[in-house]
Amino acid sequence: AAFGCFPSTGQAQMIVAHRGASFVAPENTLASFQEAWQQDADVVEGDFYLTKDGAIVCIHDKNTERTSGGTAKLKIEDSTLEELRAIDVGTWKAPKYAGQKIPTLEEVLATIPENGKIFIEIKSGPEIVEPLQAALKKANLKDEQVIFICFNEEVVSQCREKMPQHKASWLTSYKQNKLSGKWSPSLESVVKTLKKTGATGLGTQANDTVVTPEFVKAIRDAGIECHVWTVNDPQQAQRYAELGFDSITTDKPAEIRAAVTSE
């Protein structure tokens, strides 16, 4: 590792399939998660919302417009599971995926092999935490197989409080001020939020200007894991591997694994 940092696990970084193997398969469908396991991903990442009738479903956007190919525009949190299940979320990607449905959390969890893990990205607010806890109790998975990731600080705090047996990463992206050129949030503010929420990891947007060896060292010095999304470029993946990231999230798990695996 050129920059002298190593993953906190002391092992090679995990390859995380972003919304499943979503470069080839329709994101957040069972087809996409199954393709990810076939590509030998260590982890699958999926996005989850609470429906109007208390189910937990896997979809990225707040509504179904994009992944239904414009055929249905239902707001997830205002719809029932039955209404959402009637929608085809495969055809927009390719005709061979016709009939793919929005999966429930339970269905996604059932795809996880014995040595596989899931990053559950929580897209709803704190109201999802209790139903999530109940759903996970019924699942036949080990605590370390389930990791929460979330942009919402309050949700991260509640996950750590109510389900401390599962790791939880706080996610952040960055914005640059046009006048000053400064990026926010600053490293100082990132560390502060991580400590405040009790997050076990940072899930950082891939930003080669912000994420420097010094940045990584500061996170590590706070005892916090470093994860990055979404990296589809092999050279960029090598950079984050050399920076010692614990995981790399990608739409192309097999290709990125090959890029970071030394002969």
Residue whose CB is less far from Ca ion, 35 or 121: 121
Pick the binder of ligand G3P from 35, 42, 47, 251 (CB under 6 A).
Answer: 47
| Annotated catalytic residue within 19, 60, 220, 252 | 60
Return the structure tokens found at 217: 């060292």
The CA distances from residue 167 to 89, 92, 161, 163, 199, in Å, are 30, 34, 11, 9, 7
- Residue 229 touches which of ligand G3P, Ca ion, none (Cβ within 5-8 Å per kind): ligand G3P
121 counts as binding Ca ion under rule CB under 5 A: yes
Size of the site for Ca ion (CB under 5 A): 2
60 is catalytic: yes
The answer to whether the beta carbons of residues 42 and 14 sit under 8 Å apart is yes
Question: Residue number with the shortest CB distance to ligand G3P?
Answer: 229
- Is residue 18 flagged as an active site residue? yes
Q: Is 18 in the site for ligand G3P (CB under 6 A)?
A: yes
Which of the listed partners (Ca ion, ligand G3P, none) does 171 bind, with a CB threshold of 5 to 8 Å by partner kind?
Answer: ligand G3P
What is the residue whose two structure tokens read 């920076």? 243
Rank residues 201 and 244 by Cβ distance to ligand G3P and give the closer one: 201
Pick what 42 binds: ligand G3P, Ca ion, none; C-beta below 5 to 8 Å, kind-dependent. Answer: none
Number of residues binding to ligand G3P, judged by CB under 6 A: 10
Q: At what angle do helices 153-162 and 187-197 cross, to 10 degrees?
A: 30
Sequence-ordered list of residues with C-beta below 8 angstroms from that of 84, at least 6 positions apart, any chain: 51, 57, 59, 64, 74, 76, 102
Q: How far is CA 17 from CA 73, 205, 225, 248, in A?
A: 26, 15, 18, 9
Chain positions 53 to 82 lying near ligand G3P, rule: CB under 6 A, are 60
Q: Are 59 and 18 in contact (CB under 8 A)?
A: no
The answer to whether residues 39 and 254 touch, using CB atoms and an 8 Å cutoff, is yes
Per CB under 6 A, residues contacting ligand G3P are 18, 45, 47, 60, 121, 149, 171, 203, 229, 249
Per CB under 5 A, residues contacting Ca ion are 47, 121
